[in-house]
Amino acid sequence: YQYAKDGFIFAATENRVKVIEVNSDYDQEKELANIDDLIIQDVDGINIFSFNPDGAQIAAQKANEAGIPLTVEMSAIADGPGTVVCDIEFDWTRLGEMHAEYLAKVHPGEKVLEITGIIGQGPIDLMLDGFQRKMEELGENELIGIQPADYNREKAMDIMQNMLQSGEEFTVVHVANEDMALGVIQVLKDAGKLNNPISVISNNGSPEGIIAVASGDLESTISTSPGIEGLCCFEALYREVIGKSVPKQFMIPMLPITKDNVDEAVAWEVDKAAYELVKKEFDNME
């Protein structure tokens, strides 16, 4: 998430806005303590990447009581009295559906393994829901298992090694981010199984992931630029602070990437041109 932070800070710098950065390390108690600390500092606005939708709801209640506008990114917000200025998301449910559609088209009849992130965190739960429902609806693939690796490359590699040793049959593995996918690819290469017969798909469109797609190691990915995410989060919060209208939800575009269109992947590093495009998107929603 360094790129998302960099995008946010880039936009803030362009507008001469001071940013206070805190990291909650996926710890809800630490997250809420950070919110309390920011409220004590009387900041003008808060953007939060919450551990889960429930944490975002609690944060919203605290921010509402303090009269501080709050935006949330990539976690959504649970039902409750707390409200946010804007929920900035990739459409995680749709992302799962896109993967299922790709598999039905390119790998019909094949068995699929899912190596996922942190179950219980909003984006992963939504992605898995869309993935499973669409796969069942299309009826072309069988999901043999969902193995959480908690966004840890070594855990993902251990899972892949154990699945190979288990003898269970599958020919495609979806890995919940490209950092883990690169570890899985290495295990498959060492075993002589990469694309022979096991293919790997993932999502992110990271610089390393795009190189892997171009080389053929990673069969496909979905480009979801965290740099653009950071720009969008800043722009939504900033517009609220200066009195402009802001949509209640902003869905960031996603783009499927294969070797055929690898040059179309959205860059993770941001620049002024990217920020201008983001601002135009918000202008069009006013």
For residue 43, what are its two tokens?
């900041």
Alpha carbon distance 273, 208 (integer Å): 23
* Total domains in the fold of the chain: 2
pLDDT value, residue 101: 98
pLDDT exceeds cutoff 80 at 1: no
pLDDT exceeds cutoff 90 at 278: yes
Label residue 52 by pLDDT band (50, 70, 90).
confident
Are 67 and 85 contained in the same domain?
A: yes
What's the pLDDT tens digit per position in 78-132?
A: 899 999 999 999 999 999 999 999 999 999 999 999 999 999 877 899 999 999 9
pLDDT value, residue 61: 97
Q: What are phi and psi of 199, to 5 degrees?
A: -100, 150
- What is the amino acid identity at position 199? S
Residue 134 lies in a domain: yes
Alpha carbon distance 167, 285 (integer Å): 52
Expressed in percent and rounded to 5, the helix, strand and coil fractions of the chain are 50, 15, 35
Residue 111: CB atoms within 10 Å: 16
What's the pLDDT tens digit per position in 127-172?
A: 999 999 999 999 999 999 999 999 999 999 999 999 999 999 999 9
For residue 160, what are its two tokens?
């892949």
Are 232 and 277 contained in the same domain?
A: yes
Shortest CA distance to 125 belongs to which of 62, 78, 81? 78
Sheet holding 220-223, edge to edge: 142-148, 111-116, 172-175, 199-201, 220-223, 255-258
pLDDT value, residue 123: 85
Q: What is the CATH number of the domain that holds 109?
A: 3.40.50.2300
Residue 162 lies in a domain: yes
Are 114 and 190 contained in the same domain?
A: yes
| Residue 192: domain span | 92-223
Residue 43 lies in a domain: yes
Are 106 and 218 contained in the same domain?
A: yes
Residue 261 lies in a domain: no
